[in-house]
Structure 1
């Protein structure tokens, strides 16, 4: 073990150093633990106590390939089932693995620093401020507003922060020009061009969450169906392909290589402060390997669209991305597409398809409290800057993953009806604007349909939660949804009409077309009639509920309050 001559640096092994904050189940206090303890206590830990980007970067880049490296891939459903029923990872196997690979997990080792290139050196022989590893802080062309830091002021990162910054960069680094490194054959004028965003950044991630960290990891480990992994497949810390500045465009060898794919070359420069603290202020960030395409056999968390192009036969499916202009539940059709839909050519993640299979065989119960974390990044021009971070967490009824499921049909109906109401409200608003001789572009201003989607989201999330815990309440929930959604839609239309009728043009009924002829156009009262008719057609009123326009979801929740 070599430590750059820094006193105390040898203590920062990921295996033993308390670098990872976690929430233990039924404990509000945050505990900092080592990577070894994290795996050993995974069944006792509820969540990693970090923002979602760091939490998922740790899960995908470290925990999943690490567990596969320790246990091996699951080749049959029975192998997965046996590990699931045990309920925890084998501490003996964990200890033996870390004993054998102990030298690979030192963060500041001089010869083999974890996740870094030991002899990485820029052609200019200069280093960069540490914020180049943090997309939320200004660096170069990436300048978030209202942050009092610039390139002349380096962020002082603790070893834990530096470790997580490595993971963030390998997952969501921006594209564009990188600092040229010595031994990089494609350096020109001190720069390396053409850098792509990492594989993870091009995916709208859908992460299944279990009741504890052990279950969360297990839900993301997909049975390989007997396919033997490539003998060269290894996580980045056991691979020699990322130990130098030389990079290449290459496909992933296997799932361990893919999940820990080295899309950037990085080096941390630790320092000791006057107070004796170990920090990282200066770093190097260079070009890394470039993945030509994402293999669906290796990617567990992506939804897919079939490649209908005949020109690129190597790529069978393209991963979907999340959209910041939509609520997460509006994508339920893609989430629930356990088998590829011919009409949309969409298919859900391999993890959710596996959960559907295990529910059918009884390995996972129908009332399992499954949640999914949706995480994605929207980039700006040429992927050179991050514009939006998309994060949401929704309950997902396991029974909805069945091919023939009343709950699945109902949830898809919710999405479609909500979209129809959105269009009806926007059309009503457009009619009102026409009557008042006002024009508003669809991508500007506030539209009633979008406000309806935001308002109804609370009820949709509660319905998802109820159906996750009480799927037998489906019939009652369907009636409650129809009444509640109809009332919310009619109330939204009523507000538009009430405000519009105050206008002197509210009763305007004619205008001249381009030929100079007079033609009749709907006035606001007529538009109101058409709108109400459309809403009542969308939500037919059951006979027993026609006496009221109020509703409550509490009765269907029973003792389970959301």
Structure 2
């Protein structure tokens, strides 16, 4: 096979969008050295972005250039807006001289794979095994266009993307036993966890260019990277005393993470892509996927998740655990956790990712301008049936006012969280109105996990306005009057949307709801009538939205 056909350094296998919206095809070298000319990647699924960043681009950058040792060094890199000529030369030397042979797809030492990996039963499986949205084995999506008997032809570019995705997000449970894996029993290995990113909700800060995104996902550490911390393609440089198995062999280890490079690139599976010559060129139709490394400790290095802190954990349980995203909730509904900059002083609670805490420190030292176009990409997978199948994918992107991450001067953060809390409380008030109206009509409240709720419709209605609000607050500076106007406009938006939902609910109730009925609740008789329910709802609405209610009291326009 010609080198250019499988050379990830030079092959244009990553689809990207330029600053003017133009479509680009780049390899690893061009993606990094030209990162200031790239706005974002155009990837098949949102969960692929953290896989490409963590498994590839960030480790190459960190290993080639080293981490910034201080805020000043970090700020100098960000201020340049692009890699310097000297840095580009280091990256080029790293990829084209030092490790050129480690970034080929089908070579004697294939990238992120095990050459010659063979299942104990001698069989290969369809490449659909790498793609959660297609049918394979236990994973049978409801609307898959393919069955397990069909071929899924992956180009080398797409095969590598799904290879990285599998290392990060693969399902758990039983994996095929590999020849040479002494831990395989009866042709299989059991007890495999999901891929590392499947164990938490991913939070990745983004900027206006790929270069900014790379820097925002780079920590500054005074001591740099540990000496024994190596990426998977340089595993042979680790001290022999580490006792861990090489990711280029079928054997695997249960071990702690050696550092940031190891954590981001460790091979949670042993995989081989099987190339086939077709009329369209080289394609990957078959793969071998076996058990890979399992990390016992990793949280001290993890950058891309928020945490739940437990003040008094149970015996043997850690004081903090990674948070997962909730299906059906927009990212802005979880801003309370994203903007929690420190461990709760008392009791249990969330606190945000190491990278967002770092951005808070950088903003406090004016290393980032107040109007910096910070964004946040969130994603996760929901697994079912012992984590052996993928049930749902969660993904969202969010503009975030960088000033809301200031720890000392938290006026903007409090305002943002107030807006989020108001939406949540109005949504709950609508659901309470629905329950009261159903009782007034002679029915019962909807079960918690069934039925369509007005709260969901409300939050969907105001979703776009919330995102516009957050984007606008990125450039608000210290203008308190503008902030007050923005909050006033947000309350009007909520009030209008809530009133429309309430009017629709009232119009749907039968006439008997006017008379209502009496129920015994906790030993007391409670009367439920439609008029009483509406009155309670609007009183609650005025309490939640004080600016609107005050304007109405003064005779102003509220809707």
TM-score between both structures, scaled by the size of structure 1: 0.91
Asked if 1:20 is matched to 2:14, the reply is: yes
Instruction: Tell me which residue corresponds to 1:260.
Output: 265
Asked if 1:510 is matched to 2:510, the reply is: no
Show CA shifts across 1:222-273 (max 9, x none): 112x235332211111114211111111111000000011100001111212
Deviation at 1:205, TM superposition (A): 0.9
- 1:299 paired residue among 275, 298, 302: 302
SS at match of 1:206: strand
Instruction: Tell me which residue corresponds to 1:558.
Output: none
Instruction: Tell me which residue corresponds to 1:280.
Output: 284
Instruction: Tell me which residue corresponds to 1:4.
Output: none
Deviation at 1:10, TM superposition (A): 5.9
Instruction: Tell me which residue corresponds to 1:36.
Output: 29
Number of aligned residue pairs: give it.
537
Alpha-carbon distance in 1 for matches of 2:41, 2:426: 39
Deviation at 1:544, TM superposition (A): 4.9
Instruction: Tell me which residue corresponds to 1:61.
Output: 55
- 2:150 paired residue among 141, 148, 153: 153
Q: 1:71-470, aligned counterparts within 5 Å?
A: 71-89=65-83, 90-98=87-95, 99-110=97-108, 112-224=109-221, 226-240=222-236, 241-273=246-278, 275=279, 277-295=281-299, 297-311=300-314, 315-342=318-345, 343-403=347-407, 404-439=409-444, 440-470=446-476
Show CA shifts across 1:468-488 (max 9, x none): 123432111122222332232
8 A contact 1:487–1:549 mirrored in 2: no
- 2:508 paired residue among 493, 499, 504: 499
8 A contact 1:70–1:97 mirrored in 2: yes
8 A contact 2:313–2:319 mirrored in 1: no
8 A contact 2:118–2:178 mirrored in 1: yes
Show CA shifts across 1:407-460 (max 9, x none): 211111122222221221111111111111112312211222222222222221
Show CA shifts across 1:180-207 (max 9, x none): 1012122121111111001111121111
- Higher mean displacement: 260-269 or 78-87: 78-87
Runs of 4+ in 1 over 4 A off after TM superposition: 309-314, 511-515, 542-546, 548-551
Over 3 Å counting, the alpha-carbon distance change for 1:86 and 1:444 in structure 2 is same
Deviation at 1:43, TM superposition (A): 0.7
Q: Point out where structure 1 has 5 or more consecutive residues left out of the alignment.
A: 1-6, 552-562
8 A contact 1:367–1:468 mirrored in 2: yes
SS at match of 2:379: strand
Alpha-carbon distance in 2 for matches of 1:114, 1:87: 30
Alpha-carbon distance in 2 for matches of 1:320, 1:166: 25
SS at match of 1:143: coil
Deviation at 1:367, TM superposition (A): 0.5
TM-score between both structures, scaled by the size of structure 2: 0.92
Aligned Cα root-mean-square deviation (Å): 2.0
Over 3 Å counting, the alpha-carbon distance change for 1:410 and 1:122 in structure 2 is same
Deviation at 1:276, TM superposition (A): 6.5
Deviation at 1:543, TM superposition (A): 4.8
Over 3 Å counting, the alpha-carbon distance change for 1:528 and 1:10 in structure 2 is closer
8 A contact 1:483–1:549 mirrored in 2: no
Alpha-carbon distance in 2 for matches of 1:196, 1:242: 17
Deviation at 1:520, TM superposition (A): 5.0
Over 3 Å counting, the alpha-carbon distance change for 1:547 and 1:280 in structure 2 is same
- Higher mean displacement: 195-204 or 541-550: 541-550
SS at match of 2:133: coil
Alpha-carbon distance in 1 for matches of 2:455, 2:10: 54
SS at match of 2:270: strand
8 A contact 2:312–2:319 mirrored in 1: no
- Higher mean displacement: 232-241 or 342-351: 342-351
Alpha-carbon distance in 1 for matches of 2:124, 2:159: 15
